């Protein structure tokens, strides 16, 4: 069933850039919540101006060091945190408790008025999963609404079955012991 539903959320157009230099100079940053929560791929030093121009103040990295090097300037220029999340190539799945911790970190930054950029290596699985989780826990959306918002704003998002399960488990756990209240 989930594989069928996932197909609905796959982008129907190619989002690949044809201008190679444009892709390097500017970052494929998409706002999930305008001026609050953005998603995209691993930034490089040439992207800093794009992050600054967009008003990004906090960067949340979801990559393992072996996947991509976080440029040394990122922690100096932005509030930065790294949380290593598994993608579909990992043997183990996403832990909903870790997902909750990351969402709480993001919410704290947004509550402080910081615009947050969440990235994984390509901006396809993990960072959209975290953004959808944020929408569920702090914007009061159900899972399918949250995924629809994320994929509408960031068409290359493609959550896996295990990521859907992790969000569903996270939401179930939050309903069982609500310590996070939606901020509507």
Looking at per-residue pLDDT, the higher value among 135 and 68 belongs to: 135
In a domain, 131, yes or no: yes
Average pLDDT, the chain: 84
The 8-class DSSP code of residue 124 comes to S
In a domain, 143, yes or no: yes
The 8-class DSSP code of residue 118 comes to E
Q: What is the CATH classification number for the domain harbouring 160?
A: 3.90.190.10
Q: Please give the pLDDT value at position 93.
A: 80
In a domain, 16, yes or no: no
In a domain, 41, yes or no: yes
In a domain, 11, yes or no: no
Residue 91 lies in domain: 31-175
In a domain, 125, yes or no: yes
Confidence class for position 9, pLDDT limits 50, 70, 90: very low
The model's pLDDT over 153-174, given as tens digits with 9 standing for 90+, comes to: 999 999 999 999 999 999 999 8
Cβ-Cβ contacts under 8 Å for 123 (sequence gap 6 or more): 28, 39, 40, 41, 154, 156, 157
Report residue 33: phi and psi, to 5°. Answer: -120, 115
The mean pLDDT of 11-36, rounded to a whole number, is 61
In a domain, 24, yes or no: no
Confidence class for position 92, pLDDT limits 50, 70, 90: confident
In a domain, 10, yes or no: no
pTM for the whole structure? 0.82
Total number of domains constituting the chain:
1
């Amino acid at each position: 069933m989930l594989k069928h539903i996932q197909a609905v959320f796959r982008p129907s157009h190619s989002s690949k850039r044809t201008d190679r230099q444009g892709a390097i100079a500017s970052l494929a940053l998409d706002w999930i919540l305008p001026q609050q929560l953005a998603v995209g791929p691993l930034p490089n030093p040439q992207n800093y101006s794009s992050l600054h121009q967009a008003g990004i103040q906090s960067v949340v990295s979801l990559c393992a060091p072996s996947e991509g090097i976080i440029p040394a300037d990122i922690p100096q220029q932005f509030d930065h945190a790294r949380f290593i999340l598994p993608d579909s190539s990992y043997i183990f799945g996403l832990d909903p408790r870790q997902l909750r911790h990351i969402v709480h970190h993001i919410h704290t930054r947004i509550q402080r008025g910081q615009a947050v950029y969440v990235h994984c290596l390509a901006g396809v699985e993990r960072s959209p999963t975290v953004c959808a989780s944020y929408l569920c826990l702090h914007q009061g959306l159900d899972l399918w609404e949250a995924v629809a918002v994320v994929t509408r704003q960031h068409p290359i998002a493609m959550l896996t079955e295990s990521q859907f399960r992790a969000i569903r488990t996270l939401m179930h756990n939050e309903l069982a012991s609500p310590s996070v209240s939606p901020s509507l």
